[in-house]
Structure 1
Amino acid sequence: MYNAQAFSRSQWLTHIMLSIGLSLFLASCAMAPDYQKPELGLPTQYHSDLAQVSQSNLGLSNWKEFYLDPDLQVLITHALAQNLDLESVRSRLIAARSQVTITDAALYPTLELGLDAERSVDSGITNTDPDHSNEFTFEGTVSWELDIWGANQRRSEAEYARFLSAQDTLNLAVISLISDVASRYYEWLDIEQRYQISLNTVNIRKKERDLARLRKQNGVISGLEVRQAEVEYQSAKVTLPNLDFERQEKSNQLKILLGEFIYPLEIKTVTEFNTDIQLFPNSFSVGVPSQMLSQRPDVNAAEQALIAANANVGIAKTAFFPTFTITGSYGTETDDLSRIFESKGVTWSLLGGITAPIFNAGSISAQYQVSQEQFKQASLAYRSTVLRAYFEVADAMNSFRRSKLAIEAQQGLVVASREYTRLATLRYRNGVSSSLDLMDAQRSLFSAELTLSQVKRDRLLSMITLYRALGGGVLSQQELMKIHSPEKVGGAKENKGI
């Protein structure tokens, strides 16, 4: 401690400012490497008729602009607000944002204020008249680790990259949740439709069986034809238990995504599901591969991990060099607490320290090598993510094109099967053909209708997959932080479903 008479307050402040200025100058000498975006060699275009830049890019569309079914929009909104896994990821994002603040704090000095009080008395052995004395000290302390080699800057850079990665991870979870809700919803509707088709077929074949029994009683047909009608009836009936289980299972999967034990699902009739209502945009494009890099959260998250790994290389490199710290304090001392701010007993101190690595058994060199290898691993992971993302889009486009051709072919088969069944029914009732021809026609129509429902489902799923592959459904940071609400979304609905 030095007395204020030996060193004035203005001189003390001058030294502090000079020290800070020198520190800022030295801190500019960061020794870590700057991040350079890797060359990826992406193709300039997708090989598809969907890769037209004149139309709107599907991956940039808001999910409400893509999923046009009002019932599905209600489900997605509810899932975004109530899904438990999504809220867990969102919590990690909030923690990552706070961690950035913690890391950035090392870039600035810390200031502490302290008030100390001491009361003492002289020993009665050495002093016949012991005296009590009080001492009060009010002091402010400033300490700072000088970021001469840029270590703290790189730590801040790495932590911010991890925060952005957490944000992309949340967006990836949002995209996955939206597409999962849509997929489970249309899968559930497909099962419901096939269940209704099977139920209608069972009713028709039951009537055919009853009619066959009546015709046998009248001696028109033999018992063999009755048994054939019974077999067809039971063949249709046996499909119902599995379909009933599947629709319950798919309903439960959907409720898990919605974060609810009980939720009234709206069942569309077969007619409603078969109508050409607009479920998705009529026209769109997938853009160019380079746009995918900014649209897909998993690609962005992988790049942020690469940025953080690059910053960690710089942090490990600075460990070879000494660290510098400065600490300054300024305060007053008095024997009367009421005059603590008026006391002339000013105290101050200015300390500097340097710590340099001398011997560490090679741990610093090893850590530097580890950081370099981790950067290499992050670079390979980034390239691998981009490669997979490109071919996911390509496969999704191929699936979309295939589903369109499959629907056209299957619709033609259903039309032909219905006409075949109509003619076979007329011929059977007029006694021109046997029941075998009628049952064969009915069997073909039943199979064709079930397959058509599945093909239509596959068409819807291919659209969902393509939208997801393009990174569709990304939300802004403000939207990400507002998607969860403890209140139920959508309100109560009449329980027309399960």
Structure 2
Amino acid sequence: MLKFSSLSAPTQGYVDGIRVKGKSCLSILFGASVTLLLSSCAMGPDYQRPEIEVPAQYHDDLAQESQENLGLANWKAFYLDEDLQVLISHALAQNLDLETVRSRLIAARREVTVTDSALYPAFGINADAERSIDSAITNTDPEHGNEFTLDGTVSWELDVWGANRRRSEAEYANFLSAQEALNLAVISLISDVASRYYEWLDIEQRYLISLNTVEIRLKERDLARLRKQNGVISGLQVRQAEVEYQSAKVTLPDLDFERKAKANQLKILLGEFDYPLALKTQQEITAYRQLFPTSFTVGVPSQMLSQRPDVKAAEQELIAANANVGVAKAAFFPQFTITGSYGTETDDLSSIFDSQGVTWSLLGGITAPIFNAGRIAAQYDISQEAFNQAHLNYRSTVLKAYFEVNDAMNSFRRSELAIEAQQELVEASKEYTRLATLRYRNGVSSSLDLMDAQRSLFSAELTLSQVKRDRLLSLITLYRSLGGGVLTQEELAQITDQENAD
């Protein structure tokens, strides 16, 4: 270790017996340090994106006339229901979990600043004051003495092997990963709000269907009692009407609980204790006006890799792990540090800025590992295994993402076929019920035929509502699996502006 210093002397010092100006000495060493730093290289491998051969196409092809990639559509262009758009906008502004992820993003941005600070010199000020008196035992006339010192200090660790640059690279990748985590949280929140909303509407519709069926069967029971009093039918048929009435009525408590529970789930997403959810009439619920785009394409798997936040976040984690390998490798080599100070020293505080007692010091240090019981080598091995784990996680994320899109497409196709078949069943059940009602009123058939027809219609209508719900949910899942609903650059900028304002 070499040390250059001068205490309580004019602005000059001695280096190896040669007198030089103090500032010149600092300038020479500082310039040499910068030259050495700029000519150095960063340890460890430079990142290269892994080559993953994804299939050229998905198993199914949903491409239609429109060539707009569904995953690139803004959520307002995908969710066309105006009532749902209001709910999503409110959730994006008030959801507590999303606020937590936003806070993590802001903290990750600050971590980048903290890590980057190691690339630059650190400057400070040091002020000392001392008052002392000599011992009366060794001095017959002890005197008080004052000493005041004011120094400017600088310290810098030269990044010769690029360890700090690799740390900066890793931290910036962690920040980008946090940004993708925010995008993923936004996608999840939007799809969850939409899913809970349409599940709630489905339960509301089934509840209304059950209420309507209960009213119809109540009238049928009362009519059966009246006909028995007139001797037209037997008591057995009255009991049968009573059973059908109670069978429809027993579904109401469960449906009432489900619709309240689903509304509560929606309010949690909205971040409100009592958000007023607008109920729709049975006609509005049954209408199922255009809720989504009628024409779209899912693109190709290679596009999905650049659309899904979880895939991009996994790659940023891989980049950070790769940079940490360089940090661990740099630990095998010496570290170079420079510290210095420049100030004045005086015995009178009032003359601290005018004192001729100029002091300065310059210290250059080298620290090299010699023996550490294998700790540095083990940390290097750990960093390599962490990189391998991140690589496997990236490949696994891509694989899962590909099949999630395939499964969502299969689910959407199935719901399309199911809804057509179920609508035909409902129409057939309505006609069956109409004919059975006429035959019963004309005395051609028994009440058993009418009750069987009503039971079939009731079941078919409930199932149709569920199938319509499944179709909506499958399309929401498809949009989500393609990475639809990510934040735009303007929305990210708004978060940054809010951060700066805070």
2:12 equivalent to 1:12: no
* Percent identity for Structure 1 against Structure 2: 78
2:232 equivalent to 1:230: no
Which 5+ residue runs of structure 2 have no aligned equivalent?
14-19
**Residue in structure 2 matching 1:379, options 383, 391, 402:** 391
Deviation at 1:480, TM superposition (A): 4.6
Correspondence for 2:16: none
2:192 equivalent to 1:183: no
Is the partner of 2:306 in helix, strand or coil? Answer: helix
Deviation at 1:55, TM superposition (A): 1.6
**Residue in structure 1 matching 2:318, options 282, 295, 306:** 306
Is contact 2:203–2:258 with CA below 8 Å preserved after alignment? Answer: yes
Correspondence for 1:335: 347
Q: Deviations over 1:202-249 (max 9, x none)?
A: 000110111111111112222221111111111111111111111111
Correspondence for 1:284: 296
The amino acid that maps onto 2:35 is: L
| More off after superposition, 348-357 vs 41-50 | 41-50
State how far apart, in whole Å, the 2-side matches of 1:274 and 1:37 are: 50
What's the TM-score, normalizing by structure 2? 0.93
Is contact 2:65–2:295 with CA below 8 Å preserved after alignment? Answer: no
Deviation at 1:273, TM superposition (A): 1.4
State how far apart, in whole Å, the 1-side matches of 2:439 and 2:497 are: 63
Correspondence for 2:420: 408
Correspondence for 1:141: 153
| More off after superposition, 201-210 vs 219-228 | 219-228
Change (3 A) 1:107 1:478: farther
Is contact 1:53–1:288 with CA below 8 Å preserved after alignment? Answer: no
The amino acid that maps onto 2:36 is: S
**Residue in structure 1 matching 2:407, options 387, 395, 408:** 395
Is contact 2:65–2:296 with CA below 8 Å preserved after alignment? Answer: no
Change (3 A) 1:22 1:263: same
Correspondence for 1:56: 68
**Residue in structure 1 matching 2:36, options 6, 23, 29:** 23
State how far apart, in whole Å, the 2-side matches of 1:296 and 1:358 are: 47
| More off after superposition, 322-331 vs 44-53 | 44-53
1:252-267 matched pairs, under 5 angstroms = 252-267=264-279
State how far apart, in whole Å, the 1-side matches of 2:57 and 2:190 are: 27
Is the partner of 2:274 in helix, strand or coil? Answer: coil
2:141 equivalent to 1:103: no
2:261 equivalent to 1:243: no
State how far apart, in whole Å, the 2-side matches of 1:415 and 1:68 are: 28
2:371 equivalent to 1:352: no
Change (3 A) 1:483 1:444: farther
Correspondence for 1:492: none
Is the partner of 1:43 in helix, strand or coil? Answer: coil
2:144 equivalent to 1:132: yes
Correspondence for 1:71: 83
Correspondence for 1:489: none
Deviation at 1:478, TM superposition (A): 5.3
2:497 equivalent to 1:476: no
Deviation at 1:342, TM superposition (A): 2.4
Change (3 A) 1:170 1:413: same
| More off after superposition, 398-407 vs 52-61 | 52-61
Deviation at 1:344, TM superposition (A): 2.4
Q: Deviations over 1:292-335 (max 9, x none)?
A: 11211111111111111111111111111111111121112222
Correspondence for 2:210: 198
State how far apart, in whole Å, the 2-side matches of 1:72 and 1:25 are: 56
1:313-328 matched pairs, under 5 angstroms = 313-328=325-340
Is the partner of 1:351 in helix, strand or coil? Answer: strand
Correspondence for 1:490: none
Change (3 A) 1:81 1:484: farther
**Residue in structure 2 matching 1:449, options 450, 455, 461:** 461
State how far apart, in whole Å, the 2-side matches of 1:479 and 1:429 are: 65
Deviation at 1:54, TM superposition (A): 5.3
Deviation at 1:118, TM superposition (A): 2.1
Deviation at 1:81, TM superposition (A): 1.7
Is the partner of 1:371 in helix, strand or coil? Answer: helix
The amino acid that maps onto 1:151 is: A
The amino acid that maps onto 2:341 is: S
2:290 equivalent to 1:270: no
State how far apart, in whole Å, the 2-side matches of 1:220 and 1:130 are: 132
Deviation at 1:477, TM superposition (A): 5.8
State how far apart, in whole Å, the 2-side matches of 1:225 and 1:122 are: 120
2:448 equivalent to 1:440: no
State how far apart, in whole Å, the 2-side matches of 1:141 and 1:418 are: 90
| More off after superposition, 325-334 vs 195-204 | 325-334
Is contact 2:151–2:342 with CA below 8 Å preserved after alignment? Answer: yes
The amino acid that maps onto 1:461 is: L
Q: Deviations over 1:267-307 (max 9, x none)?
A: 11221112141211121111111111121111111111111
Is contact 2:26–2:362 with CA below 8 Å preserved after alignment? Answer: no
State how far apart, in whole Å, the 1-side matches of 2:65 and 2:130 are: 78
Change (3 A) 1:484 1:165: closer
Is the partner of 1:100 in helix, strand or coil? Answer: helix
State how far apart, in whole Å, the 1-side matches of 2:154 and 2:358 are: 16
Change (3 A) 1:372 1:51: farther
What is the total number of aligned residue pairs between the two structures?
A: 485
2:182 equivalent to 1:174: no
The amino acid that maps onto 1:425 is: T
State how far apart, in whole Å, the 2-side matches of 1:5 and 1:336 are: 23
Is contact 1:35–1:307 with CA below 8 Å preserved after alignment? Answer: yes
**Residue in structure 2 matching 1:163, options 175, 189, 208:** 175
Deviation at 1:407, TM superposition (A): 0.8
| More off after superposition, 358-367 vs 191-200 | 358-367
Deviation at 1:10, TM superposition (A): 4.1
Change (3 A) 1:191 1:39: same
